[in-house]
Structure 1
Amino acid sequence: MKTIEVRLPQEFDKSFIVFKEKGTYFPCPWHYHPEYELVLVLKSTGTRMVGDHIGYFKPGDLVCMGPYLPHVWVNDPIYTKGEADHEAEAIVIQFQADFLGADFLQIPEMENIKNILGLASRGMAFTGKTKEKITELMKAMIHMNGIQRLSSLLSIFDILSENKDYQLLASPGFIDSEPEGSDRLTKIKNHILNNFDQEITLSEIASMANMGVTTFCNYFKEQYRITFIEYLNTVRIGHACKLLAKEDMNIVEVAYACGFNNLANFNRQFKKLKKMTPSDFRKTVNIQEVA
């Protein structure tokens, strides 16, 4: 599926973009851009694709995405066919990492938000109180200008820096890089990302971390919220989604290229993570491209 770069117009006297998308349906295709982006759906329903994540959106859906992460919001047929009794609406905020200066994210006060923006490279869907607070601010920002709008964005940063109410969307294997952690975690992560197409054993990776297998398993789960094997499979399935979208490899070839040594296990892990088969994923991606 071809990904294109799409840019929103920015007013000459504004340092970042606040834009209200409104129409029969959301017209933007599968695309990316160099800005960070917050998308709040006000009205309409449909399918949301962020990287290799496929989910369903409805009013109140709030997602943050990092630069160059491919994504698209495809409205349900009732909107694309013009049969809904209301228009589709969303509020979009876009900003670049250096919109307040090259060193803005390097100051001590921005340490937590810098970590959150790193996670946004995979896309983040917000829930709970975090979503409620940011939603209120984004709705108000449409009617603001100047310092009020900037102040509200900084307030959003403050909320994000303290939040735990989120779900990461795209698989780590789909993106080109992940936020840096400790030296030990970075070494492990890089080894996985560079060798996921080969056999990687628990004893091997635990030895790299200078830990026993049990200690390593507990450490890894504490850091990543999932087990090492679950993370490894997530990386492999994420890469598989990239290959499936290109349509120049059959499913058996994709499975072996991603480190699975048999098709049955590949299909089982894919369905577990994506809630659909590899074939259905390929069909869904093609449908989004046509739409």
Structure 2
Amino acid sequence: MKAIEYRLPKDFDKSFIVFQETGKFFPCPWHYHPEYEFVLVTKSTGRRMVGDHIGYFEEEDLVFMGSMLPHVWVNDAVYSSGQATHPADAIVVHFLDNFLGQDFLSVPEMEEFRKVLRLSERGMALKGRTRRKINTLLKQMPPMNGLQRLSTLLTIFDIMANTQEYDLLASPKFVQNFQYESSDRFRKVTEYIMQNFDQDISLPEIASVASMGVTAFCNFFKEQYRVTFVEYLNTVRIGHACKLLAENDRHVVEVAYECGFNNLANFNRQFKKFKNMTPTIYRKTLAI
């Protein structure tokens, strides 16, 4: 499935895009674009794919996605067949990283939100009180004037910068173009993981790559990615497994060992933890 690049027209007197998508079903195919994007589903149910993540959406589902991350929302059959009692509806916000000028994200006040943008390279499904607060604000945005919209968007940025209520979607392995603003030390660490994830990587080993002690490295890593090193390593391995499951018909056991898992039981357990389904069901889902 080849993703196509989409560009949305922006009004000449507005710095970012807010629109309401309403119809029998959501029409966009598997696509990507340079803008960051909020998608709030207000009516409809179905499946969503964000990178190599397959999930299910319903009313009030809210996802924030980074630049150039492929995605698609596919309505349940009752919508695509025209049998739903109401149209599918969503509120969408698109903005570029320089929509308020080249230096906007460089100001000190944006430091925490810059971390959010880095995380959004994988897609973020918001949840809990954070989702409820942002959804309320997004629903108010379509009829607002320009300054009201901008003020509301900045409020949403502030909420995003101060929450842990989200799930990351696409795997790090899927997101090939890393553009983190952190140190050369972290670049070396991520490159080492990508080159060696199919082998055992101990904490002392990876800490030495960063020229750090184990405790300092663990704190450093958790601060940057908001997950532990082991959790991150497993998402890389599961992401590669998704690629292999989609591209060939090799046995699941072969895929498990090629991705760095030393037994099938652990592979199945980790895969279900990150993808909410077994490897076999994931492969069957891709074939639908």
For the aligned pair, the TM-score class normalised by the smaller chain equals 0.7 to 0.9
1:122 is aligned with what amino acid? R
**Contact residue 124 and residue 168 of structure 1 kept, 8 A:** yes
1:10 positional shift:
1.7
The question of 1:283 aligning with 2:284 is answered yes
1:179 positional shift:
3.8
Name the residue aligned to 1:70: 70
Structure 1 251/125 Cα, relative in aligned 2: closer, same or farther at 3 Å? same
1:30 positional shift:
1.2
1:180 positional shift:
4.6
Please give the alpha-carbon distance, in whole angstroms, between the structure 2 residues aligned to 1:264 and 1:113. Answer: 38
Q: Over aligned residues, Cα RMSD in angstroms? A: 2.6
Please give the alpha-carbon distance, in whole angstroms, between the structure 2 residues aligned to 1:35 and 1:222. Answer: 27
Please give the alpha-carbon distance, in whole angstroms, between the structure 2 residues aligned to 1:226 and 1:157. Answer: 21
Please give the alpha-carbon distance, in whole angstroms, between the structure 2 residues aligned to 1:219 and 1:163. Answer: 19
The question of 1:61 aligning with 2:66 is answered no
Q: Structure 1, residues 158-177: CA drift from partner, whole Å, max 9, x if none?
A: 22122222111111221122
Name the residue aligned to 1:240: 241
1:233 positional shift:
2.0
- Where in structure 2 are the equivalents of 1:233-272 lying within 5 Å? 233-245=234-246, 247=247, 250-251=250-251, 254-255=255-256, 257-260=258-261, 266-272=267-273
Structure 1 254/81 Cα, relative in aligned 2: closer, same or farther at 3 Å? same
Please give the alpha-carbon distance, in whole angstroms, between the structure 1 residues aligned to 2:179 and 2:168. Answer: 12
Please give the alpha-carbon distance, in whole angstroms, between the structure 2 residues aligned to 1:262 and 1:180. Answer: 36
1:172 is aligned with what amino acid? P
2:71 is aligned with what amino acid? H
1:153 positional shift:
1.2
Higher mean C-alpha deviation, range 187-196 or range 224-233: 224-233
Give the SS at the match of 1:232.
Answer: helix
**Contact residue 98 and residue 104 of structure 1 kept, 8 A:** yes
Please give the alpha-carbon distance, in whole angstroms, between the structure 2 residues aligned to 1:100 and 1:218. Answer: 35
Please give the alpha-carbon distance, in whole angstroms, between the structure 2 residues aligned to 1:179 and 1:167. Answer: 19
Please give the alpha-carbon distance, in whole angstroms, between the structure 2 residues aligned to 1:153 and 1:212. Answer: 40
1:96 is aligned with what amino acid? L
Give the SS at the match of 2:158.
Answer: helix
Name the residue aligned to 1:117: 117
Q: Structure 1, residues 48-96: CA drift from partner, whole Å, max 9, x if none?
A: 2111211111111111000111111111111111111000000000000
Name the residue aligned to 1:167: 167
Structure 1 51/9 Cα, relative in aligned 2: closer, same or farther at 3 Å? same
Question: Identity over the aligned pairs, expressed in percent?
Answer: 64
1:204 positional shift:
1.9
Please give the alpha-carbon distance, in whole angstroms, between the structure 1 residues aligned to 2:83 and 2:278. Answer: 31
Please give the alpha-carbon distance, in whole angstroms, between the structure 1 residues aligned to 2:152 and 2:213. Answer: 48
Structure 1 104/222 Cα, relative in aligned 2: closer, same or farther at 3 Å? closer
What TM-score results when the alignment is normalised by the length of structure 2? 0.87
- Runs of 5+ unmatched residues, structure 1: none
Q: Structure 1, residues 235-255: CA drift from partner, whole Å, max 9, x if none?
A: 01112323444x257356655
Please give the alpha-carbon distance, in whole angstroms, between the structure 1 residues aligned to 2:232 and 2:160. Answer: 24
- Runs of 5+ unmatched residues, structure 2: none
